[in-house]
Each structure stands twice: as structure tokens, then as C-alpha cells.
Amino acid sequence: MSIMSAWLKKVRFQFKLTKSGAIVRRYFVIGAFDGALTILGVILGAYVGEGINHPELARQLIIGAGLAGGIALAVSSTVGAYEAERVEHVLSHQHLEKAMLRPVEGDRIGAMKVSISVSAIVHGVAPLLAAFVPLVPFFFMELDQAVVTAIAMTLVFLFVLGAYLGSLIKEMIVYTGLRFVIAGLGTAIILILVGGHP
């Protein structure tokens, strides 16, 4: 067995031991959803505010604020998830030790550390990826075309995210996907209305 295979087997065991699969999945969805809607807000806010009179300024605002917002979300999500998971795992471990009337060491301690770290990394990477994707068109397209493309990409991303969740619970994936899309469209409409009325 190769070193990588042994490591993956160990990580899978640790995840099973701490039941972390669901936690990581939940953090990915929450982080990605937050990232997508936050950057959609940045794009539409800058476009509605400056897009007509100062398109180049709007583009710079979208790229600059979008990248900064994505990085800030990633850091915030990573630190928040790390501390929240660390506290929850310590509380769970203390509860287990109290129930068993003795210290619990070994595999469980290592599994806790892996679970905490992976959960934090996933929660940080998810919004960064979701934030970066809709910004790509602004490097290559005219502002109006880039905005339309970014909105479409965000809605497709939200649909895929919702469809993935629906597939986990054997729900109709179109139904779950459209629920996420409706949330994105609702956000876009609110932002446009708010941005158009100073």
C-alpha cells in the first residue's frame, strides 16, 4: 500500500470515527452559497451604482471588491469554522470522558484534529471558489456582457449546488436546484431595486 493510500485510509477512518462527513458537506454548501451571493451583491452593486456613467470604474470596483470580499469571506469562514468545531469537539470529548469515567486518548484525539482542520479548510475554500468564478468574465469581456455572464454563471452554480443537495436526499434535483436559483434571483432583484434608489 502506498503512503498516499494509507493516509487516505486513515483520514476516512478518522472521519467515520468523528462522523465529520456531514459536517464538511454542510460547511461546503454554506460557504459556497455565501460566497456566490456575496459576490453577486458586489457585482450588481457596483454595476447599478457606476456601470452607466463610469463603466471602467465599475469594472475595477467589481474586480477589486470581489477579490477582497472573497478573501475576507475565506479567512472569516476558516477561522469561524475552526473555532466553532474545536469547541464542539472538545465539549463532545469531555462529555465522552465523563460518561466513561476515564480519559480517552489515541485515535479519537487525532481524528478530532483532522476533523477540525478539514472542516475549517473546506468552509474557507468554498466561498473563495464561489466568489472567484463569477469574477472571471470581468477580465475578458465588456462590462455589460461580463455582468450578464456573471449572473448566469452564479445562477448555474447555485442550481448545481441545490441539485447536489437534492440528490443526497433522493429529492427531485430540479426542485432543489430551482430553490437555490430563486434565492439568487431574489437577491439580484432586491439589489437592483435598492441600487436604483439612492
pLDDT in tens, 50-88: 887 888 999 999 999 999 999 999 999 999 989 988 888
- The three grid cell numbers given for residue 143, joined into one nine-digit string: 462590462
Q: Is residue 139 part of a domain?
A: no
- pLDDT beyond 80 at 168: no
pLDDT band at 174 (very low <50, low <70, confident <90, very high): confident
**What's the alpha-carbon Rg for the chain, to the nearest Å?**
21
- The three grid cell numbers given for residue 198, joined into one nine-digit string: 439612492
Alpha helices by DSSP H, listed for the chain, are 3-18, 21-50, 55-100, 107-132, 143-168, 173-195
Q: Is residue 109 part of a domain?
A: yes
pLDDT of residue 193: 78
* For range 178-188, the mean pLDDT: 88
pLDDT of residue 177: 87
Q: Is residue 104 part of a domain?
A: yes
Q: Is residue 136 part of a domain?
A: no
Q: Is residue 14 part of a domain?
A: no
pLDDT band at 195 (very low <50, low <70, confident <90, very high): low
Range of the domain at 103: 21-130+145-195
User: What is the dihedral sign for C-alpha 121, 124, 130, 135?
Assistant: negative
Q: Is residue 135 part of a domain?
A: no
pLDDT of residue 50: 82
Q: Is residue 176 part of a domain?
A: yes
**Burial call 33-65: b when 16+ CB within 10 Å, e when fewer:** bbbbbbbbbbbbbbbbbbbeeeeeebbebbbeb
- pLDDT beyond 90 at 147: yes
Better pLDDT: 113 or 74: 74
The single residue listed with the C-alpha cell 437592483 is 192
At 51, phi and psi to the nearest 5? -60, -35
- pLDDT beyond 90 at 11: no
The answer to which of 25-34, 124-133, 186-195 has the lowest mean pLDDT is 186-195
**Environment class of residue 130 by beta-carbon count within 10 Å: exposed (0-12), middle (13-18) or buried (19+)?**
buried
* CA–CA separation, 26 and 28 (whole Å): 5
The answer to which of 100-109, 135-144, 176-185 has the lowest mean pLDDT is 100-109
The answer to which of 2-16, 44-58, 173-187 has the lowest mean pLDDT is 2-16
Q: Is residue 138 part of a domain?
A: no
pLDDT band at 136 (very low <50, low <70, confident <90, very high): very high
Contact 153, 188 (CB under 8 A): no
The total number of structural domains in the chain stands at 1
Q: What is the dihedral of CA 48, 54, 55, 57, to 10 degrees?
A: -100
pLDDT of residue 169: 76
pLDDT of residue 24: 82
pLDDT of residue 151: 92
